[in-house]
Amino acid sequence: MKFKSFDEMLQSNAKNHADDIALAYDEDGQIKRLTYAALYDEIQLRKTQIEHLDANCVGILQAPSKKWIIDMYACVLARKQTVLLDPMSEAAVIQAQVLATDVETLLTDGLTAPYASKLKVAPSEKVSLADGEGNILFFTSGTTHSSKAVVLTSKSLCASAWNGQAKCPCYTSDNLLCMLPLTHVFGFVCAMLWPMSQGACVSMTRGMRYIVKDCDYFKPTIISVVPSILKFLIGFNALNDGLRMILVGAGPATEQMLAAAKAKGIEVRFGYGLTETSSGVAISCGENPFAMSVCPDDEITLGEDGEILIRCPECMMQGYYKNKEATDEVLVDGVLHTGDLGRFDKDGNLYITGRKKDVIVLENGNKIFLPEWENQIAEQLGLEDAALAIKDDAITLFVGNDDGFLNVSLLKEKLAAFNKSKPFDMQITRLEVLPHKLPRTATGKVKRYEL
């Protein structure tokens, strides 16, 4: 069923799947379970509490948990604009996001409360509502300055879950292990909302330090992962017996990685989508995980240059929050210009071939906005001829040294200092000094494909 709101879905589950398990989670070394009827009751109780908050816009700054899920649903049902904040982000990034989205109060947990109390919140702001529920704001997975707040609705997210179900069935008997950040739309839809829309069980991981053991602990039948997590699980032989499907998304995956999972008798699906489209618009359905079938509500065409263009009225974002200029740049007459490049085969399957924009997409789904980083590198490292690209799965800094006068030892020291300002999984791990200038176009742009 294609639900039109979170409330409709939750009510339906409380009635039709009352005694089925909605959530499984660890508490003091034991697996606890919450039925759909009990989940609905807890959400309604929390909704009543949140309705009395003197705030129109609420930020959720918590680790993924039972509490996170209840607070999120309760905020949306209480008609609050709900901003999903990643607790793993740097404090300065979170602060900027809080002010940019008019967050007036924060819902925290035991880990985030101490530093959340130091954050400055925004003054009261009148916010618009959609379909009787609060909007949900996700941040695109860019770096500090390029990340934008995307306004989605419960209706668009439910439609996305329905689209995924049409191509990639989940059943009431399934148990999906949630290993992804719920602040990213792929994790939100494909690791929580999709199984919940079908009355299935969502098991919450105990955290990254338990990730090798959690498949055996919770015994899922489905996992939704980014490539970096899949690579880790395969490397430690951590995929459990009984696991029937792996849905991979939010970043590039290698054929070797997918083949290793399929060799264990597990069905592997690959999904393509964006925050702006409420997650997936195409999912692989056949033997080739890279050949993706377009979801029912979505229409995908290619521009003259191969850019993927998407029309999906039910799943499309409302826009970037308070950023009409940026919205108008990518959303033209209802068509999203993705900046991704693709092609279709003779059967109408979509293949992703690259990026049109100057963006690196990492295995964990995070993105590096290259002009932003290269400007920082030019300033902090004192380089005039430098560029970033991915080489052999590593973020690589290429430096032109045509005159031979570059002090490489000093450059390495400056690069180490630069890396200290970046998250561990986004640091530059490789340096290549070339004995010539970097290849550039007639207009001066680096030819990254030649590096």
Q: What are the tens digits of pLDDT across the range 132-167?
A: 899 999 998 654 445 799 999 999 999 999 999 999
Please count the residues of the chain: 451
What is the model's pLDDT at position 143? 46
Mean pLDDT of the chain: 91
The Cα 137–Cα 56 span in angstroms is: 13
- Among 28-37, 40-49, 194-203, 226-235, where is mean pLDDT lowest? 226-235
Superfamily of domain 6-355: ANL, N-terminal domain (3.40.50.12780)
Provide the pLDDT confidence category of residue 413 given band limits of 50, 70 and 90.
Answer: very high
Question: For the chain, how far is it from start to end, CA to CA, in angstroms?
Answer: 49
Tell me how far CA of residue 82 lies from CA of 87, 107, 349, in angstroms: 15, 10, 36
What is the model's pLDDT at position 85? 96
What is the model's pLDDT at position 144? 46
- Closest by CA to 445, choosing from 339, 361, 371, is 371
- Closest by CA to 281, choosing from 242, 309, 321, is 309
DSSP, res 291:
S
What is the model's pLDDT at position 264? 86
The Cα 6–Cα 70 span in angstroms is: 12
Contact between residue 138 and residue 86 where contact means Cβ atoms under 8 Å apart? no
Contact between residue 447 and residue 439 where contact means Cβ atoms under 8 Å apart? yes
Long-range CB pairs of 324-331 (<8 Å, 24+ gap) are 326/148, 330/276, 331/276
Contact between residue 239 and residue 177 where contact means Cβ atoms under 8 Å apart? no
pLDDT of 295-342, one tens digit each?
A: 999 999 999 888 999 999 999 999 999 999 999 999 999 999 998 889
Q: What angle do CA 55, 58, 59 make, to 5 degrees?
A: 150
Delimit the CATH 3.40.50.12780 region(s) of the chain.
Answer: 6-355
Instruction: Considering only residues 288 and 206, tell me which one the structure prediction assigns the higher pLDDT.
Output: 206
The Cα 56–Cα 134 span in angstroms is: 9
Q: Which helix (H) or strand (E) holds 377?
A: helix 370-381
Provide the pLDDT confidence category of residue 252 given band limits of 50, 70 and 90.
Answer: low
Q: Which CATH class is domain 366-450?
A: alpha beta
Provide the pLDDT confidence category of residue 131 given band limits of 50, 70 and 90.
Answer: low
pLDDT of 257-289, one tens digit each?
A: 777 888 888 999 999 999 999 999 999 988 888
Delimit the CATH 3.30.300.30 region(s) of the chain.
Answer: 366-450
Please name the residue that has the structure tokens 């991704």. 340
